[in-house]
Structure formats: structure tokens, C-alpha cells
Amino acid sequence: MVLDLLNPLAVLIDPVFSPLLIFKPHIAIFLFSLILTALIYGLNKLLVNKNVMKEIKEKLAAVKENMNKAQKEGKQDDVNRFLKEYMTINNQHLGQTFKVMIVSFLVLIVLFPWASRQFGSLAGIASLPFYLPFLGNNISWVLWYILVSVTGSWLLRKFIGE
């Protein structure tokens, strides 16, 4: 398994995140998730130039508007030209977002083996008062991480004002 291959990294990261282990597992994963969410959000802020992204989105909107106008007028050559321009600008947008995705993925690849090593043997982090199909009434550490990170990311963006 890939996580087993990354166990040496988990051992190196242990001194950084092991203080979280004084808490109960659900609290430790909650804090771990919030730390990773904040780290990835910070990397996102560093890697993506907001002005460039805004400019790209404005260009995309303008080209799309021109393309729709040409389509309504039945000018197929203009539609093809605008479509090609749209694809070029969209590739710039994807390039900006791809940087963040790669860095986020690398952070998770490095830090998830630690969490797997610490919490992977637990049957469930939290017990639900009801039964969920395919999940049962226990939440694994991965599902708990996902729930906390999605909620934490949303709250962080609301708090900062994005």
C-alpha cells in the first residue's frame, strides 16, 4: 500500500503532530484537519495571484459573451475563433488552479500517512445515533477528516471574507 511506503515520512513528521495525541482521537483529528486546512489555504494564497485570476475570469466572461452573440447571429467562423480564444484563456485558468492542487496533494501525501499510522487501527472515531447505509453507525478517521476540513475551509473563507 502507498501509505506503507510513506511511513518513514510519518516518523519524521511525528514530532510536529504528536502533541495532538494528548487529546481524544476525534479532537486530535479535528485539530489536525484544521491545521491542514489552514496550511493549504495559506499555500493557496501564496501560489495564486488574485489579480491574475480576476483578470482571467473577466476575459473568459467577455469571450463567452462575444461567442454567444456570434452564435445568435449565426457567424460560425467567429464562434470558432471565440471558442479557440476561450480554450486558450481557460488553459491559463487551469494552470493557476493546477499549481495549488499539486501542492495540496503533496501536503496531503506527506501528512496523511502520519494520521493513518496513528488512527488507522481505530474502528471508528465517532459513533452516530443512527445507521447510515454503507457506513454503519461509526465514522472512520478519513470521513471525520473530510467533514471537518470541508466545514473548516468554508468557515475560514467566510471569516476572512471571500
- Mean pLDDT, residues 12-40 taken together: 87
pLDDT, position 33 = 92
φ, ψ for residue 76, nearest 5 deg:
-65, -35
pLDDT tens column, 33-67: 999 999 888 888 888 888 888 888 888 888 888 88
Q: Which of 158, 150, 148, 155 is nearest to 32 (CA)?
A: 148
Confidence grade of residue 2 (pLDDT, cut at 50, 70, 90): low
pLDDT, position 154 = 92
C-alpha to C-alpha distance for 147 and 127, rounded to whole angstroms: 14
Residue 152 grid coordinates: 473548516
What letter would DSSP give residue 18?
Answer: G
pLDDT, position 73 = 81
Pairwise pLDDT comparison (124 vs 44), residue with the higher score? 44
C-alpha to C-alpha distance for 81 and 60, rounded to whole angstroms: 14
pLDDT tens column, 134-156: 777 778 888 888 889 999 889 98
The label of the residue with cell 487551469 reads 94
- Mean pLDDT, residues 67-83 taken together: 82
The label of the residue with cell 485539530 reads 31
